[in-house]
Structure formats: structure tokens, C-alpha cells
Amino acid sequence: MEKALRIDHIAFAVKDMERAISFMEKVLGAKKVDDYAHEHMRTVVMQIGDSLPMITLLWEPPDCGGFVADFLKKHGEGLHHMGLQIEDRDKFVEQMKANGLPVPPWKQEGDPELRSEVLIGTRYFPTVLQMMDRKGVKASTPKQWLAEQKKYIRGYTKETQGLK
């Protein structure tokens, strides 16, 4: 049976990034370990203690039409999704089918050599689950996670999609 290995990250959609960062740092004692923009979205990676999972804070301008901005309009701030590491995406898809769960119809974006995931929507669970196969590299420390995340995010870029 293909099962989730561990929680990879927990993502929150936020309207005020600086307020969210301040809360994480001053109240929870978290530290900011990465801050990057891709397309029009900003992602800040926070670490609590010295272990996984990482916390990601997601923000987009309200009028950009992106998936985070759309989420914020419809639902407000809050839990956006949970990322879980899995061993093998193809085996996981077969397991979904065997259990009567349809494989999501949307096409995975980006370079499949860098990104391999299955998204399970809220019809089956209270939040979206991002089941992530990191192509044989399973992040078990925050440092490994950050290195893998940089590769993974490259899967979203226009260059890897042939949209230069």
C-alpha cells in the first residue's frame, strides 16, 4: 500500500504577509528561512523549531486572478493546503483508482522531472492535499526541504513550460 511518508508543508493563504510573518516570529518563535516570488505570488517559508513540516505563507494581489487571490476572495485567510510526501506518484494514482477515487482531471503544470504530484480536492477531505513525489529525494531536514523546494518551484516557471 502506498502511503504518505510525512507532512511536507502546511500552506496558509494570507492577506497581510507582514502581519502573518510578525505573528509567526513574535508569538510562535518561528524563523523566516526563505522568501520568494514566482509569477505574481509571494511565498514565505517559515520554520518552527528545527524540524519539518515547514509552514508556507502564500499571498497574491487581489486583482491578479491567481489561485491564491481567488481562494482569499472566496474563503478569506486560512489553511490553503497540506503537502504530503509520497514514495511513488504512479502507485498512489493506482491506489486512488482502486479505492474509487477519481484522479483529478487537471493537468500538472511545469516540468515533470522537477514536479510530480497529485492534488486531492475538498470533496474527499476538508482541505486540499498535495501528494508530492519528489523524484526519489525525500526531504527529512529543513535544509534538504529548501533545496528541493527551489527545484520544485522551478517547475512553475514559464521557461520550463516553454512559454518564454
- In 98-124, which positions are buried (b, 16+ CB within 10 angstroms) versus exposed (e)? eeeeeeeeeeeebbeebbbbbebeeee
- Domain boundaries 4-154, corresponding CATH code: 3.10.180.10
pTM of the model: 0.82
Nearest-CA neighbor of 154 among 113, 99, 120, 126? 113
Where helices occur in 34-88 by DSSP H, the ranges are: 67-75
Q: What is the pLDDT of residue 143?
A: 81
pLDDT at residue 57, as a whole number: 93
Give the pLDDT of residue 58. 92
Q: What is the pLDDT of residue 32?
A: 94
pLDDT at 162: 36
Give the pLDDT means over successive 10-residue stretches in the chain (164 positions): 87 96 96 87 91 89 89 94 89 90 66 70 86 71 79 53 34
Bridge partner residues of 31 (DSSP) = 47
Q: For residue 107, what pLDDT is reported?
A: 55
pLDDT at residue 164 in the model? 34
Indicate the DSSP class of residue 48.
Answer: S
So what's the pLDDT on residue 3? 86
